[in-house]
Structure 1
Amino acid sequence: MASSFNSNRFGILAAILLIPSVAASTWKYWPPRHESYTNPTTLSYFIQKRLPWLYRPPADIFAGRYGQGAMTAILGPDCRRFVFGDTGLFSQMSPPTFRVHSCSKPIDLQKFMAFLKSGHFVSTAAWTYAELKPEELSAMLVEPKQTVDEKSAR
């Protein structure tokens, strides 16, 4: 009698744990639901922002997830790693499309584009990786506007 009671309790406990687990898995991984290949996962974003040396995805994957439609260049979340497309397209596109993805630094997009067009990087591949040196990045930052008080203090 006691073993029958314990097995019933075990079955009820298993059902209590199993039913929500199956429901959650079905909702999360429902086959007809489309995968999101156009946005980085939280883990990918964290790695690219804080630990970019840890993983370097293929350039076309990086472009697809962080570019969201940009055609010429995508600057990643660490503000230094970027991918760029066929440099022959830079002069043909008016205006060139590029994206700065979650970079917390104020990048001057015209300086970034001028840097890309300067001939430092040449590629005919669909996407090619490059990385900004710290001095190159600082040269592309937006200059903070000075207030009247700061100008008069000089």
Structure 2
Amino acid sequence: MFIRELQVDGYGALHGVKLSFETPVTIIYGRNEAGKSTLLRFVRSMLYGFPTRKDPVERGEPVAGGRHGGRMILSVSPEAEWVLERYAERGSGLIVRDESGSDRPMPQQEWERLALGGVSERLFRQLFAVTLDELHEIRSLQGEEIGNYLYHAGMAGARH
């Protein structure tokens, strides 16, 4: 499964943004303040839910307008796509539209098991969506320490 398209209605400084991806692995780069970290937080919020108002940076309240949330189009196989829709006012509940076109609300735990292979938000943060802070932390490790770090991150974050 990979993200084929992101549609940001409103998240932080992003409003009405639509990005398409053609490969399973994508590197986002750009100048400072271009919105890279905001986009990463949007993806995390879409996959795992919107944080509470106690964490305003991670929550990403729209400052440029738009409805707080958006859609992700996921390529789940060469023949099938799912549309994930999530908005903060729904209490971070998500709706998944499958290849048949059926919309169904889905509990977070079922979503993580079904679509994310049981990958928790913590594991996602540690291994799949790396920010500059995490790179600095990994850079300070040497030799086998890197392997141990990744192994323990996976053991701590994975659900069975």
Looking at secondary structure, tell me which structure has more strand per residue.
Answer: 2
Instruction: From the CA coordinates, give the structure whose radius of gyration is larger.
Output: 1
- Shorter-chain TM-score bucket reads under 0.3
Looking at secondary structure, tell me which structure has more helix per residue.
Answer: 1
| TM-score between both structures, scaled by the size of structure 1 | 0.25
